[in-house]
Amino acid sequence: MLVARGRTIGRVAQVRRLVSRHYGWSQVAVVLGAVACYESIRLALPPDWSLAVAHARSVYAWERRMHIAWEAPLQRAFLGMPDLVRGMNVFYLAGNFVLTGGFFVWLYRRSEPGFRLYRNAFLIATAVSLLIEWRFPTAPPRLAGVGIEDTLRTLSGIDIGSSGSGGLTDPVAAVPSLHAGWALGVGAGVLWYSRSPLAKVAGFLYPPAVALSVVVTGNHFFFDAFTGMALLAASLGIASAIDRAEVVEFRLRRGVEQSGSSPGS
């Protein structure tokens, strides 16, 4: 039994050494695994369009009661600048993911502890968003029949996430907006870890720019953006608490090991 236990401990030690030597690649594997898990779960949740549209209209009704239903007039104002809105369409489809990926590459090189913190926070927020989608599927305003135009279709000829499309995006996951949530995380990380004043300005402006783009393109209500940012902020708090607990546990364990190996113990 002791021999088998020793072999197990040895194998675990070998895995740890392998991971430590190839930490960057191990993190790529973690992210790819998380994406694969997200896509598998998403595909296992067939969209309930009638319920999703009903929830979207409920969100819009709540915004009207709170006097924050600004999506339609804001979109109309921007539709007078169609080239700008086309740029927002591209930004919505690709820019957010490219910039988020670039942020994590930069943060990994800048601060390994910071990378772990933000990686965990993004994973927590994404997992919770899946749970919310399961319990509260919500259609984007452009598909909810509330007077919001689908700028992706009308200006760029792209149909994503509708009941008749192939489903390039998650069609009923408007609440919360991960675009807005991730943008807050990226902006906060750049503000905290960057040394460049220009980069800090960009980090400060990035979250509201993303929130504006997802609303103008008709993909999210303001409520969706607010909830996405709140979810990411809460996830950062949870990830930070986990990090602190791990540090305390490590220090206690090291203290016990040192006291146990000290002379006269």
Q: Which of 141, 162, 129 is nearest to 74 (CA)?
A: 141
Task: Cis check for the bond before 176: say yes or no (omega within 30 of 0).
Answer: yes
Determine the Cα–Cα distance for residues 13 and 9; give it in Å rounded to an integer. Answer: 6
pLDDT tens sequence across 197-212: 999 999 999 999 999 9
Phi, psi of 176 (to 5 degrees): -85, 170
Report pLDDT for 101: 87
For the chain, the DSSP string reads -HHHHHHHHHHHHHHHHHHHHTHHHHHHHHHHHHHHHHHHHHHTS---HHHHHHHHHHHHHHHHHTT---HHHHHHHHHTSHHHHHHHHHIIIIIHHHHHHHHHHHHHHH-HHHHHHHHHHHHHHHHHHHHHHHHS-B--GGGTTSS---HHHHHH----SSTTS--SS-TTB-SS-HHHHHHHHHHHHHHHH---HHHHHHHHHHHHHHHHHHHHTTS--HHHHHHHHHHHHHHHHHHHHHHHHHHHHHHHHHHHHHHHHSTT-
Highest mean pLDDT among 92-96, 169-173, 233-237: 233-237
Residue 252: both structure tokens together = 């206690």
Matching residue, tokens 């090291």: 254
Residue 12 has pLDDT above 50, yes or no: no
What are the boundaries of each domain within the chain? 1-44, 48-261
Mean pLDDT over all residues of the chain? 84
For 158-210, the DSSP string reads ---SSTTS--SS-TTB-SS-HHHHHHHHHHHHHHHH---HHHHHHHHHHHHHH
Report pLDDT for 3: 47
Rounded mean pLDDT of 34-48? 71
Report pLDDT for 9: 47
- Rounded to a whole number, what is the distance in angstroms from the first to the last CA of the chain? 28
Rounded mean pLDDT of 168-193? 90
pLDDT tens sequence across 58-78: 999 999 999 999 999 999 999
